[in-house]
Structure 1
């Protein structure tokens, strides 16, 4: 698995999974459609840097999603609307256990024991995440609503 110091989210990015290295530093295993990388940044750092790369701030994206959806916490993030890069956190983004998953790369989700979910990505890679299936479905629904609302707003402007 190739190691990278930094990473920018792109269309092939499917999930950002936190992992501590041998020195106790929080990094990320990045799952793409065709590759997997070890990155020296935390998942949240990758999200922040990627939002800046595409012309916004992570904080701005989170606040906008909270406002649009009428929620208070754990909002999905539209990293880049033009490329349809939408990710949601499995728990608090400040937690070192938070996995970020791209809505567009999920094939199926299945319960895994009582409190975990198996996420099958479109490339058939499987992730086990610490979140109940029903909670995961709720996060997917919120992300789908954010995508729908933002796309409707863009379309409505073109129709005027």
Structure 2
């Protein structure tokens, strides 16, 4: 698999960028052999880059950039959905940046895929899946379709659970902030009605 990736580098624009964080345009990150090291091929909506980091290191670096370390993100995923292997990661919830790994992140062949960018997918071989992203571009990845399906479902559950927590906290805050004012407003209304009905 790594040999195949190494050959594919011939067609890749070999732009090395050291100061890069995963963002809302990033569609997937896959490992490639570059020289004697494993680098990251980052595919964005309209561009792609070769970065001098392993995919997992880039995921960790991006988590740190948005203010939360990778281990904390993993613990959060476990707490929200109860899974313990191949954990999806919330890199940045405000911009819906959720990524899932195709195998254990510790394995060198692990690919990270952006949940929000996946439009559809289909099996093309036993260990190959064609993913069509929302920009209508398709990429064949060395991953079984069953893995993509399970990881998409888990990441969807993670997003739903997180949004429920956020909305629940928002309602609590709104009720606390507006509760006393609503009571006062009701009292004022009652007083107004009492005065308006008083013949004096």
Distance 1:28 1:57 in 2: 20
Once superposed, which parts of structure 1, at least 4 consecutive aligned residues long, lie more than 6 Å away?
none
Please say which structure displays the higher CA radius of gyration.
2
> Contact between 1:77 and 1:87, CA under 8 Å: does it hold in 2?
yes
| Pair 1:82-2:126 in alignment | no
Correspondence for 1:132 among 127, 140, 144 = 144
TM-score (norm 1): 0.94
Distance 1:97 1:66 in 2: 23
Q: CA deviation at 1:3?
A: 2.0
Between Structure 1 and Structure 2, which shows a larger proportion of strand residues? 1
> Contact between 1:6 and 1:39, CA under 8 Å: does it hold in 2?
no
**Structure 2 spans left out of the alignment, 5+ residues:** 1-12, 173-200
Alignment of 1:8-157 (within 5 A): 8-21=21-34, 23-157=35-169
Compute the RMSD of aligned alpha carbons: 1.2
Please give the secondary structure, in 2, of the residue aligned with 1:137. helix
TM-score (norm 2): 0.76
Q: Whose RCO is larger (CA < 8 A, sep 6+)? A: 1
Equivalent pairs counted in the alignment come to 159
